[in-house]
C-alpha cells in the first residue's frame, strides 16, 4: 500500500475519469436519506452521507435476480449469463467494506456462488472516511477501520483527502485520472488527528467482552420470549443488513408455459415460513425462536466458523426496526437481564 494526497476540488476529476471506464455507483440523496445509485454527474454524489438505506451488498447479491432461463419441454437451460459490468463502488464506509469481506467468506466458500463472484471480481472499491451517527457501533467489532478489501480509501483531512491505495488497479486509476502529491510528515499528523477525533466521536460504547460465552449461557433465557413479544416478524432487519445472505429460489413460467426462469430473492429468518418444511412442520414457529436464532447465528455460529461475528455495527437495523430491537439493546438485555 502507498499513499497520496488529493485536493478535494480535484475529486470530480477522478469520478469523471472513472466514468469513462466503469459504471460508477455512489451515495446520492433520496429525500432525507441516502442510497447507492449510478452516478452521471459528480455533483450528485453526497460524500457527507451518514448511512444508506440498503447496503452495498445489493450490487453483488441483488434483492431479486434471474439465475437462468429454461425451456419447459426438455428442461434445457437456454440462458445463464451473469450481468456483471465493470463497476466502481465509490464512497463505501469502513463498516460496509468489512461487510463485503464477511459475505466473501460465505459466497467464496466450499461452493462458490458464480453470480456473486462475477460481480465481485468485476468491481473496484473506493472507500471513504465517515463520522459516527447515533446508531453506529462499528467500534464494538473493530469494523470502524478498513485495512484491506478496497482499492482506494479516502480519508478526509480538511481541504484534502489522504488517499490509501492498496491495489495496482487503484494506483493506475489514480495516476490516470487525478492530480496528486506525495504525503509529508504534516499530512501524516493530520491523518492521525482525524483518526483520533473519529474514535472519540462514538456515542455507543458496547461491552462485547465474553459475548459468545454469554449468549451461549443465555440460550434458555426468558429474554428471548420478551423480545419475541416485541418483534413484528417483518424481516426489515434482514433486508437492510449488509451481512444477511439468506435467499429463496423459485421457478416462474411464462404465460404460454413453454419457457421459464429460476429466480433468487432475498429471504429472512424472521419470516414465519422460513423454517417451514413438508407436512406443515415448522422448526421455528415462534417469533422468540426466530429472533433468538438470528442472534445466535450472527454472534456465535458464524464466529465459531470464521472467527468474526456477522455484524459490522452499521446501525441500519436500529433505524429500520419499528419495534426498537437492535444488537446494542439485545446485548445489554443479555448482560442485565432486562429488555428495554
CA distances from 308 to 44, 74, 98, 141, 335 (A): 36, 45, 11, 9, 20
Res. 80: pLDDT tops 90: no
Contacts of 294 (CB under 8 A, 6+ apart): 237, 238, 269, 270
Q: For residue range 4-35, what is the model confidence (pLDDT) as tens digits? A: 999 999 999 999 999 999 999 999 999 999 99
Q: For residue range 159-204, what is the model confidence (pLDDT) as tens digits? A: 999 999 999 999 999 999 999 999 999 999 999 999 999 999 998 8
Q: Percent of the chain at pLDDT above 90?
A: 94
Cα separation, 251 vs 253, in Å, equals 7
Cα separation, 91 vs 24, in Å, equals 10
Q: For residue range 29-63, what is the model confidence (pLDDT) as tens digits? A: 999 999 999 999 999 999 999 999 999 999 999 99
Res. 333: pLDDT tops 90: yes
Res. 305: pLDDT tops 90: yes
pLDDT of the residue at 257:
92
* 194 exposure class (CB count in 10 Å sphere: 0-12, 13-18, 19+): middle
Contacts of 317 (CB under 8 A, 6+ apart): 236, 237, 240, 241, 325, 326, 327
Give me the phi and psi of 51, to 5 degrees please.
-145, 140
Amino acid at each position: 500500500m502507498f499513499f497520496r494526497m488529493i485536493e478535494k476540488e480535484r475529486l470530480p476529476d477522478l469520478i469523471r475519469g472513472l466514468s469513462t471506464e466503469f459504471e460508477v455507483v455512489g451515495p446520492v440523496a433520496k429525500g432525507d436519506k441516502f442510497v447507492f445509485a449510478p452516478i452521471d454527474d459528480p455533483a450528485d454524489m453526497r460524500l457527507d452521507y451518514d448511512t444508506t438505506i440498503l447496503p452495498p451488498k445489493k450490487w453483488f447479491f441483488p434483492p431479486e435476480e434471474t439465475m437462468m432461463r429454461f425451456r419447459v419441454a426438455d428442461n434445457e437451460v437456454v440462458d445463464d449469463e451473469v450481468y456483471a459490468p465493470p463497476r466502481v463502488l465509490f464512497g463505501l464506509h469502513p463498516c460496509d467494506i468489512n461487510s463485503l469481506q464477511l459475505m466473501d467468506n460465505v459466497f467464496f466458500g466450499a461452493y462458490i456462488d458464480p453470480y456473486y463472484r462475477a460481480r465481485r471480481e468485476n468491481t473496484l472499491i473506493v472507500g471513504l472516511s465517515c463520522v459516527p451517527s447515533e446508531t453506529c457501533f462499528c467500534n464494538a467489532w473493530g469494523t470502524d477501520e478498513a485495512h484491506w478489501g478496497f482499492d482506494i480509501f479516502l480519508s478526509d483531512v480538511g481541504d484534502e483527502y489522504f488517499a490509501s491505495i492498496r491495489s495496482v488497479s487503484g494506483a493506475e486509476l489514480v495516476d490516470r485520472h487525478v492530480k496528486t502529491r506525495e504525503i509529508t510528515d504534516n499530512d501524516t499528523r493530520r491523518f492521525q488527528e482525524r483518526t483520533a477525533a473519529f474514535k472519540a466521536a462514538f456515542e455507543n460504547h458496547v461491552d462485547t467482552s465474553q459475548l459468545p460465552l454469554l449468549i451461549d449461557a443465555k440460550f434458555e433465557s426468558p429474554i428471548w420470549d420478551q423480545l419475541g413479544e416485541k418483534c413484528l416478524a417483518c424481516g426489515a432487519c434482514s433486508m437492510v443488513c449488509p451481512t444477511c445472505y439468506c435467499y429463496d429460489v423459485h421457478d416462474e413460467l411464462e404465460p404460454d408455459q413453454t419457457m421459464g426462469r429460476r429466480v433468487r430473492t432475498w429471504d429472512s429468518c424472521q419470516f414465519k415460513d422460513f423454517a417451514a418444511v413438508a407436512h406443515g412442520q415448522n422448526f421455528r414457529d415462534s417469533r422468540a425462536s426466530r429472533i433468538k436464532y438470528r442472534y445466535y447465528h450472527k454472534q456465535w455460529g458464524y464466529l465459531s466458523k470464521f472467527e468474526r461475528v456477522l455484524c459490522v455495527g452499521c446501525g441500519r437495523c436500529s433505524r429500520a426496526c419499528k419495534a426498537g430491537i437492535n444488537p446494542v439493546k439485545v446485548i445489554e438485555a443479555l448482560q442485565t437481564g432486562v429488555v428495554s
